[in-house]
Chains A and B, each alone.
Chain A
């Protein structure tokens, strides 16, 4: 009762409905137990007899500009739940297609904060998440697992504080569990498919700000600092994502296979790493590329790294 009164007061005091864009930060809640929802169900079952005018006004911003209505929208619900103040129910929300033809997955989705549900092409719910930027989160999902992103339902939450977002998410989760009798696959405990993925590849390092900038320290000093400040540095021909010679490719494959954290420098980058090749040959007393440094010392080229890899000596080398 007290909680309900508090909620109503907050609603009455809302003179301005504000939404703000926040730097993309996805908050993913995996359902750890049904007990929380059980207690929540007791609260949510409390009926709200008379919707106030501000209640109707509150719903307006969450309506999509171009709604795709498949069933008539009932503007007045006699037994609306408390959380309906923040977001429409999952069943009443229109689904938006996620496909490249729609200017990418973020084309029609709202970029505000709220809750969203991802459906696959069969119309099955794969994941229900909450986000500060729904469009950005769905775009990330699309990039990560496009085969599971057929359409999305989005519920924008005004005044998206943590509690309101969580309540909206819980209401959609509860509604889905009630209808289907199970948890969405993506929300099951231990499923990491929908967690924001870390960047797959580090960018190559650059020694200088560019050709148009005058160096204030000799290139040798930059090289020396670089190999000593980073545990593993590979000077290769081409970028690490697409090495331009077989030896560099082989070195990158070995380092990736070892799972070691390493930096890479493209010695063919004439804009940011100009004059690096000749300087590095003198610095390391090694005439060819790739060159691999560990703990500030040259290990060798592709042959030596391959030899150590085949003898199983790399693990101890990287652990020193």
Chain B
């Protein structure tokens, strides 16, 4: 048995203090692969590579059992707000 979705959420919340977090188990519940979207002030001033490294570091223990981790979104609250407004003004997107 692999990592649970709750464990992933718990580690990310504890270390990155996100204002928004979405974790999806894409391996059908066996905890082998996850998709993550995370919004955190700690990403301020960091380029994309460093943000992904921060997420990887936060999940250091879980990564030993995870086969695939996909970080679809790693943005600051300001970027997140802009994206939300952009989506609202363009419902088709």
Contacts and interface: CB of A to CB of B under 8 A. Distances in A.
Given A286-B56, A287-B63, A300 B49 contact: yes
B87 interface: no
A285 B53 CA distance: 8
Contacts of B71: 303
By size class, the interface of chain A is 10 to 19
Contacts of B56: 286-288
Nearest to A289: B68
Contact of A298 (B49, B70, B72): B49
B46 to A, nearest CB: 13
Interface string B59-74: 0000100001111100
Contacts of B63: 287-288
Main DSSP-derived SS at the B contact region: helix
Interface of B: 48-49, 52-53, 56, 63, 68-72
Interface of A: 245, 247, 285-288, 298-304, 307-308
Given A245-B68, A247-B70, A307-B48, 7 more contacts: A285-B53, A286-B53, A288-B68, A298-B49, A300-B48, A300-B49, A302-B70
22 contacts: A245-B68, A247-B68, A285-B53, A286-B53, A287-B56, A287-B63, A287-B69, A288-B68, A288-B69, A298-B49, A300-B48, A300-B49, A300-B52, A301-B52, A302-B70, A303-B52, A303-B70, A303-B71, A303-B72, A304-B49, A304-B52, A307-B48
